[in-house]
Amino acid sequence: MIVLEGADKFKKHDHTVVTIGTFDGVHFGHQKILKKIINQAKADNGISVVVTFWPHPRFVLEGPNSKLKLLTSFEEKAQILEDIGIDVVVKIPFTLEFSKTTSEEFIQNTLIRSLGTSKLVIGYDHHFGKDREGSFDYLKENSERFGFEVEEIPRQDIDHVGVSSTRIRKALMEGDISTTTEYLGRPYHFTGEVIHGEKMGRNLGYPTANIKPTEHYKVLPGDGVYAVKTRLKNRDYYGMLYIGNKPTLSGKRKSIEVNIFDFDEEIYGQQIEIIMLDQLRGDIKFPGLEELKAQLARDKQNALAIINNLPQ
């Protein structure tokens, strides 16, 4: 797969099948559209092209106060698109100036002049251009003038299980890992740097690696304890992750830390990937440390039960 920084770098092809969107998470609904353009491109002996925007338009339009959290970084999204089978990703820098581009300007400059689009496939209720003025009806009415075919994926084909990036973010923030995994079609993950913590886990018999997330804009699971797989230097280990304010220890700051099973190495400063498997429980305040230690022992046993039942 080729990733292009801007549509002007695209080399035109006789049959270019295009879709447009942010595609955060590249969930099952998105994959309906993506597989459609891949199959159409193969049938036409052409190429499949995804036009996407980075940074996410809401980050630019809402400014530093934006509360939006994403499911994927651009690099993660590009990797998923490559795995699915997309030929070319056109990454368009989204700026305040670009946000003023009308739908007609976008169609003429990007879809026609730069990409030479032969067919455009979009999801239902998709809008683009300044003030979201561009719509499927507008495209359909003017398709002959534009010189490309337009197809809309019906709502029932995309939302047959109610999948949306918003619903997935909500499930994740509620700690509902099984729904998140089902809707994404893969386990959710995030990465971070291992940093020094208060070393309280060591005192409890469960030493942890404290994590500073790499992408501050990514969604984190809700507070609680989770069974996870961790990836360090391309090696996989299992463990349990804690996210929360440590109420039993009167903590004041949110902590993200993982207890890696059967592991005893110094890894400060290294990058670690956390792959979510399932939630074990919510965050609980215990009467004292002994009760907390007893629960951590149960958590580990429950985590191991989940891990031992994973498909081989």
Q: Is residue 12 part of a domain?
A: yes
What is the rounded distance in angstroms from the CA atom of residue 242 to the CA atom of residue 116? 50
Question: pLDDT at position 249, please?
Answer: 83
CA distances for 282 relative to 103, 222, 273, angstroms: 46, 8, 22
Q: Is residue 38 part of a domain?
A: yes
Domain-ending residue, one of 158, 178, 205: 158
Question: pLDDT at position 156, please?
Answer: 58
Work out the burial of residue 205: count CB atoms within 10 Å of its CB; fewer than 13 is exposed, 13-18 middle, 19 or more buried: exposed
Take residue 113 and report the two structure tokens written for it: 């002049």
Give the residue ranges of the chain where pLDDT is below 50.
Answer: none
Question: pLDDT at position 157, please?
Answer: 59
Residue 153 · residue 36 · CB < 8 Å: yes
Q: Domain check: are 82 and 194 in the same one?
A: no
Q: Nearest CA to 20 among 45, 46, 49?
A: 49
Domain-ending residue, one of 158, 175, 202: 158
CATH of the domain at 79: 3.40.50.620
Q: Domain check: are 119 and 238 in the same one?
A: no
Domain range enclosing 195 = 190-308
- In tens, the pLDDT along 284-294 reads 999 999 999 99
Q: Give Cβ neighbours of residue 131 (< 8 Å, ≥ 6 apart).
A: none
Q: Is residue 185 part of a domain?
A: no
Take residue 32 and report the two structure tokens written for it: 């309906």
Residue type, 297: A
Q: Domain check: are 223 and 101 in the same one?
A: no
What is the rounded distance in angstroms from the CA atom of residue 290 to the CA atom of residue 224? 19
- In tens, the pLDDT along 161-197 reads 557 899 999 999 999 999 999 999 999 999 999 999 8
Question: pLDDT at position 80, please?
Answer: 97
Whole-number average pLDDT of the chain:
92
Q: Nearest CA to 261 among 283, 281, 237, 277?
A: 237
pTM assigned to the model: 0.90
Helix (H, G, I), strand (E, B) or coil at 46: coil
Q: Domain check: are 150 and 209 in the same one?
A: no
Question: pLDDT at position 29, please?
Answer: 85
CATH of the domain at 277: 2.40.30.30
Q: Domain check: are 103 and 24 in the same one?
A: yes
Q: What is the domain count for the chain?
A: 2
Take residue 257 and report the two structure tokens written for it: 């830390």
Question: pLDDT at position 164, please?
Answer: 86
